[in-house]
Amino acid sequence: MLKPEVLEALSAIVGRERCKTSKEDLLTYGYDACIYEYLPDVVIFPKSTRETADIMKTALAHQVFVTPRGAGSGLGAESLAKQGGIVICFSMMNRILEINRANRYAVVEPGVVIADLQKAVEGVGLFYPPDPGSAAVATMGGAVAMNAGGMRGVKYGVTRDYLLGLEMVLPSGEVMTTGTVTAKDVTGYDLTRLICGSEGTLALVTRITVRLLPRPKAKRTLQAVYDSIDRAGDTVSRIIEAGIIPATLELMDRMVIKALEESAHLGLPLDAEAILLIDVDGDPETVERQAALVAEFCKSQGAREVRVSSSEKENEQLWVARRSAFGAVARLRPSCLIEDATVPVSVLTATIKKVKEICARNQVQVAVLAHAGDGNLHPLMLFDQRNREELERVEKSMDEIVDYALSVGGTLSGEHGIGITKAKYLPKQLSPTSLRIMRAIKRTFDPQGILNPGSFLEKTQGNN
Ligand SMILES: Cc1cc2nc3c(=O)[nH]c(=O)nc-3n(C[C@H](O)[C@H](O)[C@H](O)COP(=O)(O)OP(=O)(O)OC[C@H]3O[C@@H](n4cnc5c(N)ncnc54)[C@H](O)[C@@H]3O)c2cc1C
């Protein structure tokens, strides 16, 4: 419960209108795209770095916890006030401050929605590649904090690869900037990348400078239909092995196809076991050649049909399917848990098989989506969280999937982060030394433990 004097001090910074305390507002900001709920005491909407710094100083003076939040599309409760206190929501700091064509960079506030930045830079012939499935809602601040990846990761990498510099408010209330706008910068430790992926535990990001690329002149989308998911998985690893670099390489299994067809009636083949959705982009001649090569490749690996889009509009239509996939599957049952284990692409097929075997054995309904070119699996486990016994079976499946992914050289998370859902697994992947260094970094930034408490590091054992 927030003391009246704290609310008064916060209201003095941003005005009472931008301090939300009604039950309805608190409930709205009490959940994200995961299954947990934690109510904050107040949700506050700064419009500037100065206001953010003043909020942080006030919180520190009164020892109130602070949790940053973008759009709340995170999948691990990262933006929730797990121990109450203030949620700072950056949705009102949403200006694109600069698009610099000469030096190919953009400067944005953290509340800018990723898709809005993509559209704005494309309008002037530039390209911001990171493209999470949630790009239509997720913010740049959230993307930096989570090091968001997405569909174009296989060719273009993730948020980290585009960061030039940041401005941030530290838990002390001090403002710090990192990086430059130059293409190269090796001055000192790379604090920009330390913040990227830190899940809102080290600092509040208030300004972001990203590198841009020239916009690819052409793109083709291919849809390859398979009667066997193994064949689809093997095609992915062979494409990568053959040195072909598509811009995207996504896999949907039978259950995803069925759910999409039931919800959106896109004319997808209901008898297919899997579909690969593949983009190639670049100069027009290269794209035509690559599209033909990839189509042949898919057929030779067992695709029963390959459809190549013939226009920009058709490209988009094919992507409508993929972008709607999470929603289409999630509506089948009351609760959906999205796994994120990522493996070397050469063991993709074996991992998909293992995931299906684990879920079948534990009687858990699962659909498999994947940023397959990255080996980044998204098994969607469907259940009813009110049913304790069913939830336990889902958790057991999670444990087994994690163990398998780690046993084949994979990682706990390819892009969704650790949050509170995967915190207990951290010691399985990170050594005690790594965890000790991470805790020391957290203490250096946030000696009083005031920023985003109850997050991934604190959930692991040990105080060293
Ligand atoms: C349907 C769906 C599809 C998705 N697809 C992908 C995908 O393809 N790839 C992918 O990587 N992720 C994906 N995600 C996960 C999620 O959308 C991303 O992690 C996204 O980057 C979160 O952005 P957000 O603005 O919603 O952040 P939030 O969920 O609000 O916050 C996420 C984290 O960022 C911190 N944070 C937010 N703003 C700031 C700030 N200004 N300063 C410091 N910390 C901050 C929060 O404290 C929290 O720890 C998907 C999610 C959904 C629901």
Q: Which atom of ligand 1 is nearest to the CA of 371?
A: 8
Q: Name the nearest CA neighbour of 256 among 238, 241, 278, 276.
A: 276
Q: If we measure between CA atoms, which residue out of 254, 266, 265 comes closest to residue 369?
A: 254
CA dihedral 265, 269, 270, 275 (to 10 degrees): -110
**Distant-in-sequence, close-in-space partners of 202: CB < 8 Å, separation ≥ 6:** 194, 195, 441, 442, 445, 446, 451
Q: pLDDT tens for residues 381-401?
A: 999 999 999 999 999 999 999
For residue 86 the two structure tokens come to: 């203030």
Answer for the pair 92, 18: CB distance below 8 angstroms, yes or no: yes
Distances (CA, A) of 73 to 25, 47, 80, 84, 139: 17, 21, 11, 19, 9
User: Quick one: pLDDT band at residue 464, thresholds 50, 70, 90?
Assistant: very low
CA atoms of 166 and 108, how far apart (whole Å): 10
Which ranges in 301-453 belong to alpha helices (H)? 312-323, 325-330, 348-361, 388-407, 426-429, 432-445
pLDDT, tens only, 93-144: 999 999 999 999 999 999 999 999 999 999 999 999 999 999 999 999 999 9
- Overall average pLDDT of the 226-232 stretch: 96
Q: Report the pLDDT averaged over residues 203-218.
A: 97
Q: Contact at 8 Å (CB) between 365 and 383? A: yes
CA-to-CA separations, 82 to 3, 174, 420, in angstroms, rounded: 18, 24, 9
Residue 413, pLDDT above cutoff 70: yes
For the chain, give the mean pLDDT: 94
Q: 171 CB under 6 A from ligand 1?
A: no
Between CA 109 and CA 94 the distance in angstroms is: 5
Listed in order, strand segments (DSSP E) in 273-321 are: 274-282, 305-308
Coil vs helix vs strand at 401: helix
Which among 43, 44, 49, 73 is the best mutation to test ligand 1's pocket, defined by most ligand atoms within 8 Å of the CB? Answer: 73
Query: Ligand 1 centre from 74 Cα, in Å?
Result: 4
- Residue 113 is given by DSSP the state B
- This prediction has a pTM of 0.96
Q: SS3 string of 153-220?
A: HHHHCCHHHHEEEEEEECCCCCEEEEECCCCCCCCCCCHHHHHCCCCCCCCEEEEEEEECEECCCEEE
Q: Over pLDDT 90: what percentage of the chain?
A: 88
What pLDDT, in 10s, does the model give residues 15-29? 999 999 999 999 999
pLDDT tens-digit readout, 337-392:
999 989 999 999 999 999 999 999 999 999 999 999 999 999 999 999 999 999 99
Pocket test for ligand 1, best of 52, 79, 151 (most atoms within 8 A of CB): 79
CA of 68 to the centre of ligand 1 (A): 11
CA atoms of 430 and 118, how far apart (whole Å) = 34
Q: Which of 281-290, 303-312, 406-415 has the lowest mean pLDDT?
A: 303-312
Tokens of 435: 């965890």
Instruction: State the closest ligand 1 atom to the C-alpha of 419, by its place in the atom list counted from 1.
Output: 49
Task: Report the alpha-carbon distance of residue 433 to residue 260 in Å, rounded.
Answer: 45
Q: Is 331 helix (H, G, I), strand (E, B) or coil?
A: coil
Per-residue pLDDT averaged across 37-59, rounded? 98
Tell the residue nearest (CA) to atom 19 of ligand 1: 74
Task: Indicate the SS3 state at residue 451.
Answer: strand
Rounded CA-CA distance 307/318 in Å is 10
Residue 311 has pLDDT above 90, yes or no: no
pLDDT digits (tens, 9 = 90+) for 233-249: 999 999 988 888 899 99
Burial 87-102 (b: 16+ CB within 10 A, else e): bbbbbbbbeeeebeee
